[in-house]
Amino acid sequence: MTELIATCVVCDELITAIEWKNGGEVSWELIHRSDADHDPVPAPGSFAEAVKRCDFCSALNPPWRFVTRGAFEMLTVTDEASFVHKDDSAWAACAPCKRLVVKRAKDRLAHRAMLDLRKARPGLGEEFYRLAEQQIRAAHEGFFECHPGAPERLES
C-alpha cells in the first residue's frame, strides 16, 4: 500500500491519499486526519513523498516483502457500493508481521491489524470493527492460500 500526505485547501488540515490497485487500474482514496465536516480537497502541489505501509498492520516503512505464487480477488460490499480488490501478489511487511507470517500466526496478525485500525480510526462502533476484522482475516487467508515465498529484504 502506498500513502501520500497532503494538506486540505478547505481546512488546512493534513489528509492522506491511499493508493488502491485493482488489476491494472489505480485509484486513490482521500481521508482527513481530523474529524472534518467536508470532503478532503488536496492543495495543488502539497503531496509529500510517498509513505509505504505494511500490508498486514499498516506500520510505516516496512523493510520486508512476501511474493505469493498466486493472486486472489476479494469482493467488498457496503451500503453505498461494492468493489473488487485484486491482489498484486506482493505484500510489504514490517518486522513483527514478517515474523508472524513465517510462523503462520494468523490470529496474531489480525490482532496487530485491529490494534492499528482502532488507533487510527477510533469511535467507529463495534459493528464496524467486527466487519473490518472479517475483511482483514479474509485478506490474510487469501494471502496464505496463494503460497507466499520466503521474506525478501526491500531496498531502503
Same structural domain, 147 and 77:
yes
Neighbours of 32 (CB within 10 A): 17
Same structural domain, 35 and 96:
no
pLDDT per position as a tens digit, 13-25: 777 777 766 666 7
pLDDT per position as a tens digit, 66-89: 999 987 777 766 666 566 667 778
Q: Judge residue 49's burial from the number of C-beta atoms within 10 Å of its C-beta, 0-12 exposed, 13-18 middle, 19 or more buried.
A: exposed
Count how many domains the chain has. Answer: 2
Same structural domain, 26 and 103:
no
Same structural domain, 59 and 38:
no
Same structural domain, 84 and 127:
yes
Strand positions, DSSP E, 38-89: 51-52, 64-67, 73-77, 82-86
Same structural domain, 132 and 113:
yes
pLDDT of residue 39: 84
Same structural domain, 41 and 66:
no
Same structural domain, 74 and 132:
yes
Please say if the pLDDT value at position 107 is more than 70. yes
Q: Which three cell numbers stand for residue 36?
A: 472534518
**How far apart are alpha carbons 114 and 130 in whole angstroms?**
10
**Structural domain boundaries enclosing 35:** 1-52
Q: Which three cell numbers stand for residue 156?
A: 531502503
Across all residues in the chain, what is the average pLDDT?
82
Same structural domain, 74 and 137:
yes
Same structural domain, 2 and 73:
no
Same structural domain, 83 and 7:
no
